[in-house]
A and B are shown apart, each in its own frame.
Chain A
Amino acid sequence: MSKEEKKVNRRDFLYTASYTVGAVGVGAVVWPLIDQMNPDKAQKALATTEVDISNIEPGKEITVLWRGKPVFLKRRTPEEIAEARSVSLDDLPDPQKDEERVIEGKDEWLVMLGVCTHLGCVPLKNKGDFKGWFCPCHGSHYDVSGRIRKGPAPKNMEIPKFEFVDNNTIKIG
């Protein structure tokens, strides 16, 4: 084969075109097979939960199920709020002010996913070194604002999207 024949010819074009079309075809088949594993419409339909909070006394906490996960609703006492706000941000592995974790004017209501940010266990309330929550699985301590203070969890417990429908009802999601 001489050197001149190395230039692009019809056959090279056909190879490239066939491989390209083939790759697009394989991709088009593979994607539905992968995406079918993502949450389906029935799962997404469960995306909001409304909770009646009229019976919760200050200092009490309830747990509700939202999207298969527990959500902690805690009505905090003024002392607890004061304590959460007295913490220096330098002491927090995942610095976040308590004010950023509640809705302004509704500061007594802490609404957060009751899921440890380490590996997803449900922390126990009123336990641990910081009067908040303690995860028994791998020993993460959270404070009264649900912020990580000690242990392997990397983040504060997540605050889901929520709003007050009226004074006695919270809509999560």
Chain B
Amino acid sequence: MSDHEYKPKSKAGKWFNDRLPLLTLGAHLTDYPTPKNLNYWWTFGGILTFCLLTQIITGVVLAMHYVAHADLAFASVEHIMRDVNYGWLIRYIHSNGASMFFLAVYIHIFRSLFYGSYKSPREVIWIIGLLIYLLMMAAAFMGYVLPWGQMSFWGATVITNLFSAIPLVGESITTWLWGAYSVDNPTLNRFFSLHYLIPFLILGLVVLHIWALHVPGNNNPVGIDIKKPSKDTVPFHPYITIKDAFALLMFMIVFAGFVFFTPNVLGHSDNYIPANPLVTPAHIVPEWYLLPFYAILRSVPDKLGGVILMFGAIFILFVLPWLDTSKVRSAVFRPLYRQFYWIFVIDVLMLGYIGAMPAEGIYLVLARVGTIYYFLHFIVVLPVVGLLEKTEPIPMSISDPVLSSGAEPSLAKKDNVKI
């Protein structure tokens, strides 16, 4: 894949690189030609890497103090909050870090939807990304169970009961997941084990995600294929690293704002009550990042149907590259898709809001409309719009729109020489 032969300068470097070409890999990552017009929506890949590492580091530390037992878990979390040095800080970073992780991943996904990054030849990057997203949801759900509060217990009960909707084998699967006849100590114990495992699976998939990205190279806001390297690209380092670093800094300000000023605003106070298998809290709500899917689940008046639509809402994303019939990637040149894109964004936000509301009256009606539209967007709107739409003219190169919109051509030329 490397377009050039990298030669280490030092003798030791050459000796090592001949045996394991890590330095060649490093050089590839540094020089990796990147479209020069990437905007800040493209900085979330770096931010997500930061989020994953933050969760792994704080998680490993928390596991040094946490006890995965139904009788001790709740107290051990309080022990972390009160007794362990900086335990409160590390736990708040970890719990808010999960929300920050999802915030970043949603922006990352919606960026891909707007600029058509999921389209050929980047379908595999998209699918690996969705697998990461699925694992993230599994990890977040199991992590939320570990403090063994009321929301932990009843969230686990409701989510594991989703599998009981499967005909014939549903009950056996649920009992197998529990390791008991209800959510109990064996459930907590295995969730802890899996919660520790999944981040490393995600890390492996992230490597594949980036590897798959480096084959065709980045998509870009204009969405056209570019020659690499060329006057349309800049080396990853220092151009993208510095931009990513700046965006990360901004992101960390928001992150720190949550951790230090409102560390519990994204959680539920019910989870500070120890788990009680005899009493269900009045309002069971999942964490905010799962609310749209929860709204879809509740909008269907049938148990199996609700479960199928909820999982369907996620799995339909896997075939998205083949549902979108438009050859033009970026919504910048797709006047019709651009409008449907924003309707879809509003639809998902609305479903998220409804997911937090009681399932009755006007909310139930809106949830049903929102659910139907969610699926219509993928099954009808995307294939049809791609065929009917008259797209706007696409530039031949990234430099094209820049130069024709009144930028100083001589300056651009100078830049190219530098590169």
Contacts and interface: CB of A to CB of B under 8 A. Distances in A.
Q: Main SS of chain A's interface residues? A: loop
A167 B340 CA distance: 68
B157 interface: yes
Contacts of B178: 39
B298 A39 contact: no
A122 B279 contact: yes
B401 interface: no
Interface in A122-171: 122, 135-139, 151-154
24 contacts: A37-B190, A38-B176, A39-B175, A39-B178, A43-B184, A65-B277, A67-B180, A67-B181, A117-B303, A119-B158, A119-B303, A120-B164, A121-B154, A121-B280, A121-B284, A122-B280, A135-B280, A139-B358, A139-B359, A152-B301, A152-B302, A152-B303, A154-B302, A154-B303
A153 to B, nearest CB: 7
Interface of B: 154, 157-158, 160-162, 164, 175-184, 186, 190, 277-280, 282-284, 298, 300-304, 306, 358-360
A145 to B, nearest CB: 20
Contacts of A68: 180-184, 277
B277 A37 contact: no
Interface centre among A34, A118, A151 (most CB of B within 10 A): A118
A28 B186 CA distance: 24
B278 A37 contact: no
A136 B150 CA distance: 15
A1 to B, nearest CB: 37
B175 A67 contact: no
A64 to B, nearest CB: 9
B154 to A, nearest CB: 7
Contacts of B303: 117-119, 152-154
Interface centre among A34, A37, A153 (most CB of B within 10 A): A37
Contacts of A63: 278
A94 B280 CA distance: 24
A139 B284 CA distance: 12
Interface of A: 34, 37-40, 43, 63, 65, 67-70, 117-122, 135-139, 151-154
B157 A121 contact: yes
B184 A120 contact: no
A121 B283 CA distance: 11
Contacts of A119: 157-158, 161-162, 303
Contact of B277 (A43, A70, A138, A152): A70
Contact of A137 (B177, B186, B278, B280): B280
Contacts of A137: 154, 158, 280, 284
Contacts of A154: 302-304
Contacts of A34: 176
Given A120-B157, A121-B158, A154-B303, A39 B181 contact: yes
A122 B186 CA distance: 21
Given A40-B179, A121-B157, 16 more contacts: A37-B176, A37-B179, A39-B179, A39-B180, A67-B182, A68-B180, A68-B182, A68-B184, A70-B277, A119-B162, A121-B154, A136-B284, A139-B360, A152-B302, A154-B302, A154-B303
Nearest to A123: B280
A79 B181 CA distance: 34
A38 B179 contact: yes
Nearest to B174: A120
Interface centre among A120, A135, A139, A151 (most CB of B within 10 A): A120
A36 to B, nearest CB: 9
Contacts of A152: 298, 300-303, 306
B186 A70 contact: no
**Ranked 3 nearest A-B pairs via Cβ:** A68-B182, A67-B181, A120-B161
Contacts of B157: 119-121
Contacts of B158: 119-121, 137
Contacts of B176: 34, 37-38
A118 B162 CA distance: 8
Contacts of A67: 180-182
Interface centre among B161, B178, B283, B302 (most CB of A within 10 A): B161
A69 B359 contact: no
Contacts of B359: 138-139
A70 B303 CA distance: 22
A138 B367 CA distance: 13
Contacts of B277: 65, 68-70, 122
Contacts of A39: 175, 178-181, 186
